Structure formats: structure tokens, C-alpha cells
Chain A
Amino acid sequence: MNMRRGIGSLEIFLLAIFMVMMGSTLVMVWQFSRISVPNAQPGKDLVTAYEHAVDLLANDARRARAMIAGRELLRLESDAESIEWSFSGGNLRRAAGSAAPETVVSGIREGGFTTATPTPGLFSIWMVPADVSAMPLFTSFALRGNGL
């Protein structure tokens, strides 16, 4: 005859808690792994596209040893390859080596690259989106392929 009294079992309760903790841990590991991946969703919205462009430019500038910067064209030269960034047709495009150009940001009304005399190893990028309510972008990158 079963003499069981009270409600539930401590073992089942502990098992449930253990399962919750394991599930939470897996979710956290998944979230941590997502942080290390750059925003891989270009085009989702303008700021996400900006972030993607900034990540790519930072990576390219980190390896670049020299550059040729024009008003709407930027060529970054590294030991491994030459990467070309350009504004054309309202898009910011990136072409690495002989690969086909990739559109990184679209819907740009005006944009360009600029450099200044006292900082030969620095280029700036600016963009004004076609949507007047959206924010423009301005930032700069130093070439770090020379041991910076």
C-alpha cells in the first residue's frame, strides 16, 4: 500500500530546475555566439546596413597598407588583395579582388570618401540617405596594415 503523503517529489522538482538551467545555458551560449558574428543582415534597415558597412570597412582598413581615395572611389591595398569601395547609382558597393561587387548600402542620395593632408593614413566616409528623415553617416578609419 502506498503511504505517500505531501505534494510532488523533490527529485522531480530538482530535475525540472536542472532542465530549466540547462535550457537557459544553451540559450546563453547561442546568444554569446551571435555577438561575435557581425550583423549579417544587410538591408534590414538603414542603420543595420550602416553597421554592416562600418564592420566591413574596419576589417578592410585593418589589413590595408596603402590606399587611393577619390571622391566616390576608394581602393585599399593589402598584402593579400585589393579591395575597391565605390558609390554608384545610390549604392555603396564593395569589390574584393576579382569577385563581383557586393552592394553593402542602398538608397543613398549622396556619399563619398574624403582625406585630409595631416593624416595620410586616414580616410573618412560620409553618406546622406535618399530618405530625408533617415540619418546621415560620417566616420573615419586608419590604415592599420603597417603595424598599427
Chain B
Amino acid sequence: MTRIATYRSIGPRRRGESLLELLLAACLMTVALVPLVQLYRISRAPERKSEMEFTATLLARHVIERIVALRHADPAYLPGMTPEEPIVSTTDGFQAVSEHFKGLFGRENGLEKADNTDLFNALEPFRCRIDTYYLDGGYYKVIVYIQYDESGRTKRVFLERLLPAPTSLQEDTP
């Protein structure tokens, strides 16, 4: 009873926090909110940067899907490493078209301008490069890069695919 009486007598006399205490609490809470803000940024849907980036992503998807289909037709198939190559037939005709874009539209050497001018013009700025790596555990990693120039800068979109290496290669690999 005495204790309750004491509490009641102190209750109304409780003083408010000083400005310094509130500022200190605000600082601590601000630091605590940083991860929350980061999580908020991560949770936002990725914004589409440009139409060029969208097209590059679809072209990279084409290559990955083609590799998947070839792999299904021939389980021993592994894509090779390639330098940057055009994806449509070049006007000078000296540069080889990427193997992943040959044979489309019935053209052995890639899409030509006369076949479909609009599509040709849209795809001409893009170039394709393939990097491959053998990984531990008998896996083969394929990275497809689609490169293009935009706003005076060279940009690149890439997609990866992990393939199980054929059994014969796994046995050969030390």
C-alpha cells in the first residue's frame, strides 16, 4: 500500500524528456530505420531502364532457350565460348554472325536487311558474346552477354545458365 501510494504521488510529477534526450532517441531510431529503408528499396519492382535493355534481355533469353533446346536434343551438347559477334548479317559481310542467331527465318547466315527491314534495324545494334566455365561438381556455366551502345555508353545485359557437364567430361576432369 505504501508503495502504491508513493507511485501515485510521483505519477503526476513525472517530467517530460529534454530536447537532448529526444534528439538522442531520434538519432538511434534513424540508424535503426536504415535497414528498413534498404528493405523498402529492395522490395520495389525493378524499373525498366529502356527499350534497348528490354530487347537485350529478350535476345539473351533467346540464346539461353536455344541452348536448353539443343541440350535436350543432344545431351552431350555444350555451347562454346565466343567473342562479341553481330546477331544479324552485317552489311559488309566480313563479320560472322553469332551461331545462336544463324538459321533463323530460314537464313543460314542470319537475318538480312532485305528479309525484314524493321526487325533487322532493331537487332543490328546488339552483339552477342558467350563465356563458359567448368565448375567443381561437374557443372558447366554459360554466361550470355548482349552488348549495345546507348547514350554514348556501352551497356551489357547478361543471363546465366548452369548445365551438368556430360559424364565423359566429368571423368576426364581431374
Contact = CB atoms under 8 A, between A and B. Distances in A.
Interface of A: 1-10, 13-14, 17, 20-21, 24-25, 27-28, 31-32, 34-35, 47, 50-51, 54, 110, 114, 116-122, 124, 126, 128, 132, 135-144, 146, 148
A132 B48 CA distance: 21
A98 B47 CA distance: 36
Contacts of A20: 33
B1 to A, nearest CB: 24
Contacts of A126: 116, 119
A121 B104 contact: no
B72 A124 contact: no
Nearest to B21: A10
B3 interface: no
Given A21-B33, A122-B69, A142-B72, A6 B17 contact: yes
A56 B19 CA distance: 58
A136 to B, nearest CB: 4
A6 B59 CA distance: 64
Contacts of B48: 47
B73 A31 contact: no
Contacts of A13: 17, 22, 25-26
Contacts of B17: 6-10, 13
A46 B119 CA distance: 16
A142 B65 contact: yes
A32 B43 contact: yes
Given A6-B17, A114-B105, A140-B61, 10 more contacts: A1-B12, A3-B15, A10-B17, A13-B25, A31-B40, A51-B54, A116-B104, A120-B73, A121-B73, A142-B65
Nearest to B121: A136
Interface of B: 12-19, 21-22, 25-26, 29, 33, 36, 39-40, 43-45, 48, 51, 54-55, 58-59, 61-62, 65-66, 68-73, 103-106, 116, 118-119, 122-123
Given A34-B45, A47-B54, A124-B62, A6 B119 contact: no
Contacts of A120: 69, 73
A113 B78 CA distance: 26
B15 A146 contact: no
Nearest to A119: B69
11 contacts: A4-B15, A6-B17, A8-B22, A9-B17, A20-B33, A28-B40, A47-B48, A138-B55, A138-B122, A140-B65, A144-B68
Contact of B119 (A28, A117, A138): A138
B52 to A, nearest CB: 8
Contacts of A1: 12
Contacts of B44: 31
